[in-house]
Amino acid sequence: MEFSFLIVTRHRVAELLHTLSKLEPLFQEELSEVLVFIDACPETEALIPRFPWVRWSGSATPLGASAARDRLYPHGKGTIFIGLDDDAHPITDGFLAIVREKFRNPRTGVLAFREIKGLFANDEACLLAAGSPGDEYHAADFIGSGFAIRRDVYMGTRGFPEWIDIYGEETCVAFEVLENGYDLLYVPSIVINHRVDMEKRRRAGRNYFRFERQLRNSFFIFLVYYRYPFRRMLRLLLHNFRKYAVRDRAYFSAYCRAMAAIVWRTPAILRFRKPLSAATENKIKSLDGIPY
């Protein structure tokens, strides 16, 4: 088995149906497999009879995206894991051959795909909107909506962290991949359509839920992975207080909830602390992020 497509889903039946329909032409029993983890959403189980070639699993109680991925990924049998969101699918023809070729370099641990957000009439329209792919480069992170990681590289990390529910879990895996001596390669020639309604997002305006989760999870990431995290954590809290919390009542409430979670959960998070080496910290500083 060469490829394992791995998807976690929760309350997005229509989106998952679309994604699986896109993956079905790629499915070859001897070459690939598709695993879907249903995170406490019984309505999704209606899809199971429609896709008998999918390996289904799940939890009766909600775990969150990161913990669900942590539960799912060790069951993949492929030598290469391809992680997708339930509302994202690859649109580059022959992208599996590109993935295979990029992993011929034994130092490459993760491939970060290029994410194009939006709803398009078809894949061709999305590719047209994507434009020129640009250059590949070694990166500091990847996006969970579309990436590939060698199974042995993933299993050499602690996996997606159980102490994060959503937002920031990819950073943890990326840090541990880098710490173990592997590279993350941004491959813009492989395009993923993340089918997000951008106009709906714009109408919704500020995303307070995302702000709260990213603030507290960034704090915990500094605490877990950096040798001397206190200055970083202080800057994080001050920056978000000045830029958001003092200017918007809803952001202030989200900030206070994040601070309460930080105070309450820090003793438990400390047991996961595993600081990066100085060499890895310096390498991260030298690497660029990927476009979001």
Reading the block at residue 189, the tokens are: 């020639």
With helix as H, strand as E and coil as C, how does 93-111 read? CCHHHHHHHHCCCCCEEEE
| Model confidence at 199: pLDDT above 90 | no
Which tokens go with 170? 């990819």
Summarize the confidence of residues 213-217 as an average pLDDT: 97
> Taking the CA atoms of the chain, what radius of gyration do you get in angstroms?
19
Residue 207 pLDDT: 85
- Across residues 132-154, what is the average pLDDT? 96
| pLDDT score at 194 | 97
- pLDDT at 28 (0 to 100): 87
> What is the pLDDT at residue 200?
76
Please say if the pLDDT value at position 287 is more than 70: yes
For residue 203, pLDDT over 80 is answered with: no
> What CA–CA distance (Å, rounded) separates 111 from 119?
24
Rounded to the nearest integer, the mean pLDDT of the chain is 95
pLDDT digits (tens, 9 = 90+) for 71-106: 999 999 999 999 999 999 999 999 999 999 999 999
For residues 149-159, give the mean pLDDT.
98
pLDDT of residue 201 exceeding 90: no
CA pseudo-torsion sign 59, 61, 63, 65: positive
Backbone angles phi, psi at 194, to 5 degrees: -90, 105
Specify whether the CB–CB gap between 159 and 12 falls below 8 A: no
What pLDDT score does 27 carry? 87
Nearest to 281 by CA among 238, 215, 225: 225
pLDDT at 205: 57
Work out the average pLDDT over 141-151: 97
Q: Quick one: pLDDT at residue 177?
A: 98
Percent of the chain predicted with pLDDT > 70: 98
With cut-offs at 50, 70 and 90, classify the pLDDT of residue 202.
Answer: low
At 206 the pLDDT is: 62
The CA distances from residue 207 to 36, 137, 144, 281, in Å, are 27, 31, 19, 30
Helices (H), the chain: 13-23, 65-72, 95-102, 123-130, 151-155, 169-179, 198-204, 208-225, 230-243, 249-269, 278-286
CB within 8 A of 238, min separation 6: which ones?
none
Give per-residue pLDDT as tens, 14-73: 999 999 999 999 888 889 999 999 999 999 999 999 999 999 999 999 999 999 999 999
Q: What is the predicted pLDDT for the residue at 247?
A: 87
For 160-183, give one letter per residue: b (16+ CB within 10 A) or e.
bbebbbbbbbbbbbbbbbbbeebb
The token pair at 198 is 């951008």
